Amino acid sequence: MRLTRRYHFAASHRLHSQKLSEETNREVYGKCNNPFGHGHDYVLEVSVRGPVDEQTGLVVNLINLDGLVRREVLEDFDHKNINTQIPTFADSVPTTENVALEIRSRLARKWEGTFQDGLPRLERIRLFETRKNIIQVEEHHGR
Amino acid sequence: MRLTRRYHFAASHRLHSQKLSEETNREVYGKCNNPFGHGHDYVLEVSVRGPVDEQTGLVVNLINLDGLVRREVLEDFDHKNINTQIPTFADSVPTTENVALEIRSRLARKWEGTFQDGLPRLERIRLFETRKNIIQVEEHHGR
Amino acid sequence: MRLTRRYHFAASHRLHSQKLSEETNREVYGKCNNPFGHGHDYVLEVSVRGPVDEQTGLVVNLINLDGLVRREVLEDFDHKNINTQIPTFADSVPTTENVALEIRSRLARKWEGTFQDGLPRLERIRLFETRKNIIQVEEHHGR
Amino acid sequence: MRLTRRYHFAASHRLHSQKLSEETNREVYGKCNNPFGHGHDYVLEVSVRGPVDEQTGLVVNLINLDGLVRREVLEDFDHKNINTQIPTFADSVPTTENVALEIRSRLARKWEGTFQDGLPRLERIRLFETRKNIIQVEEHHGR
Amino acid sequence: MRLTRRYHFAASHRLHSQKLSEETNREVYGKCNNPFGHGHDYVLEVSVRGPVDEQTGLVVNLINLDGLVRREVLEDFDHKNINTQIPTFADSVPTTENVALEIRSRLARKWEGTFQDGLPRLERIRLFETRKNIIQVEEHHGR
Amino acid sequence: MRLTRRYHFAASHRLHSQKLSEETNREVYGKCNNPFGHGHDYVLEVSVRGPVDEQTGLVVNLINLDGLVRREVLEDFDHKNINTQIPTFADSVPTTENVALEIRSRLARKWEGTFQDGLPRLERIRLFETRKNIIQVEEHHGR
């Protein structure tokens, strides 16, 4: 069974790759290459898979999950400038793709410490930059 | 090809497990443990997979599907108190997880009688307790 | 200028009037008369009118407004049974209309103590029981 | 990684199968069999899977993807009558199922010419006829 | 106090004025002038103002209001072609403006027969052609 | 009759008043005082009042209205940093209140040149910073 939990954060960013010329940057990123940045209200979905606990009827303790997402993601991203305030993006472009990968890796590295019984497992991250632009990253597990 | 159909019902519930102490109940369920209950507007998605019928251009006859969901789910859950009016929850906690499992089993047990040609098959149930809390149960079929 | 702020709470209720016969109750309230109650995810909009403060660029200090709504409304209504846990509804029917009036009167009686400079003023309450059912109460002021 | 992009178009249609009797048409399609047609605001989701390009941080160049969808789908379907203005539906019923298949085949046949490096690949089409009726078609690739 | 109730209908239309040249029609209505028509999922809001009934706690009996809207509006407009199936539009252009006026006049002419005590009164019609295009018509009463 | 048209733009801003101390800035604006800025997907509603033109059935020519909003508002605000790229905000705080006033004044000063017959008139601006925070500015006309 899969539980999906939805979170929100507002952030600003600028899309500009140091590996591309000024002209190519403008071509590839269009308005998102504006040097002063712009912003979005991101929606983050975290999906977790596991069995239902017989005593509680829950797949995951939401207090633990919400705490993990708050500490590892929301506190750093919400009402922030992603380019200048998230160290990973000092030399990586904060496209929705790369922001989703960063969020996935932040959750993955604290997952086992948070859910010590090995259940549930992180299955999927979805990040909506806007309602029209959605990135999904799945975790691939042993089997 | 998969068809997903969305339904709504409003219901009240209280999360309280007889297998846990009063204190643990409060810890695990928080505000949802309020003894007098509270309520939600649930959204139910039923996903069906099958080939497109050549004559009708449809995966499933929606009159049949809607009738099945109405009789087996909506009539019993809509504008009801889940704890006291759905027998399964006399000794099971009406978490979104358990409500989704109950809905899945209600649809599954009448599926073959309703769609006698074996097509389409029930593939997935999704239950939104709120827009932030979503449970998904997939059916696993022989092949 | 008018600022509108949106809040959410989940609650259960039963519509049943002690001034009407059992039969009339069923006729008037339909499924909402179910004796065990049912529930909704309410959306509350609070609209405030006033001039823009020159120093802050704000119509109202949102910390004050959010605190008022939380203390006077959300803490009492969220994840509660309106009939049994809100004293006003011991002998009044918790229709969306009456719940909106109760919320309006709770905000109005603490308004002047909260916004001591007389600005801004409470202009409108809107309560969405569901997306299809919306009640609006306007404040009428001396001038 | 999967990128999903959402598009909109408004169109009219009538559901009527030449392979069925008048009476069966009315039974199967109900109000949608109205001879003068009716219409919807369709939502189309196109999902694309591929690796993140190291230089751009993108799964797909959105200018290419948006151009392909605009030329192959939106220009022909938006503000059109599907039965009379899309040749495929001269002898096929424009159910959501068949419209989704037509859109999938239009994108597929121009895919390789548009994304010449073989990346990314078309993974899924979802078509919302309304918020309650959703069709999903997945692409099946060699591996 | 004001109650707003939301309804939905799907319909097709073509914008074309017999009082304008072909060329001006194309200029004024753009894609909406397509001779074969197109369609939308309309949202209709009906707002009613009146006092709260002391016995029921309601501004309006929703069974009466829903019945009136269903008989006078939804049965004629839902899943229909507005140009050819609503007589008013034989010689009037079915813009959102004119459709809203027609709906208002249909409700107004049956209002007094439906709500015989003179309460509540019809206050406002809002018609969403799409989420981006909204028409509002207010009723003006004696005082 | 009133027509409302909805537009979108994404922008970043920082709330910081030069007339307040650092400490008061942090108290008043909270997370929005973050020195590196953050961003939102704004929704702008422009409401226009006028009679329905007899020939076209329209309150306003949408090509004119959309062009005005695009030139005066969207081109300057979309994908921009409001503090540094909109001159008004060099010494004014870009709260939703002040952004709404700036948009209103930009539309008002070009209104008469755009709609030379004096019809329709600008009636209301609504700006959604998020779905929870909405500012409304009404125009007051002679009568």
Number of Cβ within a 10 Å radius of residue D140: 6
Structure confidence at residue B143 as a pLDDT band (50, 70, 90): very low
pLDDT, position C140? 66
Which DSSP string corresponds to A18-60? TTS-HHHHHHHHGGGG-TT-EEEEEEEEEEEE-PPPTTT--SS
HEC sequence for B68-105: HHHHHHHHHHCCEEHHHHCHHHHCCCCCHHHHHHHHHH
Q: Which residue has the tokens 């008061």?
A: F24
Q: Mean pLDDT throughout C95-105?
A: 97
Sort out which chain B residues have CB atoms less than 8 A from C37's CB and list them.
Answer: 12, 37, 39, 81
Please give the helix or strand (H or E) that residue E15 lies within, else none.
none
Contact E72, E107 (CB under 8 A): yes
> How many CA atoms does the CB half-sphere of C59 hold within 13 Å?
26
F5 touches chain E (CB under 8 A): yes
Cα separation, B58 vs D28, in Å, equals: 10
Beta strands (DSSP E) in A50-139 are 80-81, 121-130, 133-138
pLDDT, position F133? 93
Measured between CA atoms, the residue of chain D closest to residue A137 is D1
What the block records as the tokens of F19 is 């007339």
pLDDT tens digits, F95-112: 999 999 999 999 999 999
Which DSSP string corresponds to F74-141? IHHHTTEEHHHHSGGGGSS---HHHHHHHHHHHHHHHHHHHSTTS-SEEEEEEEEEETTEEEEEE---
pLDDT, position B141? 54
In the set B79, B97, B112, B138, the catalytic residue is: B79
pLDDT, position D140? 66
The per-residue pLDDT of chain F, averaged, comes to 94
pLDDT, position B131? 86
- Judging contact as 3 or more Cβ pairs under 8 Å, the answer for D and E is yes
pLDDT tens digits, A44-65: 999 999 999 999 999 999 999 9
Q: Comparing B55-64, C96-105, E67-76, which segment has the lowest mean pLDDT?
A: B55-64
pLDDT, position E143? 35
D68 pLDDT above the threshold of 70: yes
pLDDT, position E116? 81
The architecture (CATH level 2) of F2-138 comes to 2-Layer Sandwich (3.30)
A72 pLDDT above the threshold of 70: yes
Facing residues of F40 across strands? F11
pLDDT, position E14? 97
Distances (CA, A) of D63 to A29, C73, D66, F3: 9, 48, 5, 33
Sort out which chain D residues have CB atoms less than 8 A from A135's CB and list them.
Answer: 1-4, 59
E97 pLDDT above the threshold of 70: yes
What the block records as the tokens of A97 is 């793709």
Instruction: Determine the distance in angstroms separating the CA of A50 from the nearest CA of chain B, rounded to an integer.
Output: 11
Contact F34, E1 (CB under 8 A): no
What the block records as the tokens of F88 is 């008004």
Q: Mean pLDDT throughout C39-66?
A: 95
Contact D38, E81 (CB under 8 A): yes
The residues, ordered by sequence, that sit 6+ positions from F56 with a Cβ below 8 Å of its Cβ are E17, E20, E28, E93, E95
A141 pLDDT above the threshold of 60: no
Q: Comparing A57-66, B114-123, F7-16, F38-47, which segment has the lowest mean pLDDT?
A: B114-123
What's the complex ipTM? 0.91
What does the buried/exposed string (b/e) look like for D78-107 if buried means 16 or more CB atoms within 10 Å of the residue's CB? bbbbbbbbbeebeebbbbbbbbbbbbbebb
Sort out which chain A residues have CB atoms less than 8 A from F78's CB and list them.
Answer: 31, 38
Cα separation, D87 vs D90, in Å, equals: 5
A51 touches chain B (CB under 8 A): no
The per-residue pLDDT of chain E, averaged, comes to 93
Distances (CA, A) of F98 to B76, F78, F103: 51, 16, 9
F51 pLDDT above the threshold of 90: yes
F34 touches chain A (CB under 8 A): yes
pLDDT, position B50? 95
Query: Are E15 and F61 an interchain contact pair (Cβ–Cβ within 8 Å)?
Result: no
A38 vs F32, F81, F130: nearest CB: F81
Q: Mean pLDDT throughout A2-26?
A: 96
C141 pLDDT above the threshold of 80: no
Number of Cβ within a 10 Å radius of residue A22: 9
Residue of D6, D26, D32, D38 to mutate, interface with E, max E Cβ within 10 Å: D38
Higher-confidence residue of D107 and C139: namely: D107
The per-residue pLDDT of chain D, averaged, comes to 94
Measured between CA atoms, the residue of chain B closest to residue D101 is B1
pLDDT, position C119? 83
Q: At C129, give phi and psi (nearest 5°).
A: -70, -45
CA angle C62, C67, C72 (to 5 degrees): 130
pLDDT tens digits, E121-140: 999 999 999 889 999 999 76
Instruction: Determine the distance in angstroms separating the CA of E33 from the nearest CA of chain D, rounded to an integer.
Output: 9
Q: Where are the domains of chain C?
A: 2-138
D81 vs E11, E37, E85: nearest CB: E37
Contact A14, A29 (CB under 8 A): no
Query: Are E37 and D32 an interchain contact pair (Cβ–Cβ within 8 Å)?
Result: no
pLDDT, position A142? 42
Contact F42, F9 (CB under 8 A): yes
pLDDT, position C142? 42
Query: Are E10 and D130 an interchain contact pair (Cβ–Cβ within 8 Å)?
Result: yes
Exposed (0-12), middle (13-18) or buried (19+): which is A143, by Cβ within 10 Å?
exposed
Structure confidence at residue F117 as a pLDDT band (50, 70, 90): confident
Query: Are C81 and B12 an interchain contact pair (Cβ–Cβ within 8 Å)?
Result: yes
pLDDT, position A143? 35
Facing residues of B11 across strands? B40, B80
Contact E137, E125 (CB under 8 A): yes
E141 pLDDT above the threshold of 80: no
F134 pLDDT above the threshold of 80: yes
Sort out which chain E residues have CB atoms less than 8 A from F56's CB and list them.
Answer: 17, 20, 28, 93, 95
B124 touches chain D (CB under 8 A): no
Q: What percent of chain C has pLDDT over 90?
A: 91
Contact F42, F13 (CB under 8 A): no
C61 touches chain F (CB under 8 A): yes
D134 touches chain B (CB under 8 A): yes
Q: Mean pLDDT throughout B61-67?
A: 94
3-state secondary structure of A131: coil
A118 pLDDT above the threshold of 80: no
F142 pLDDT above the threshold of 60: no
pLDDT, position E140? 66
Contact A115, A107 (CB under 8 A): no
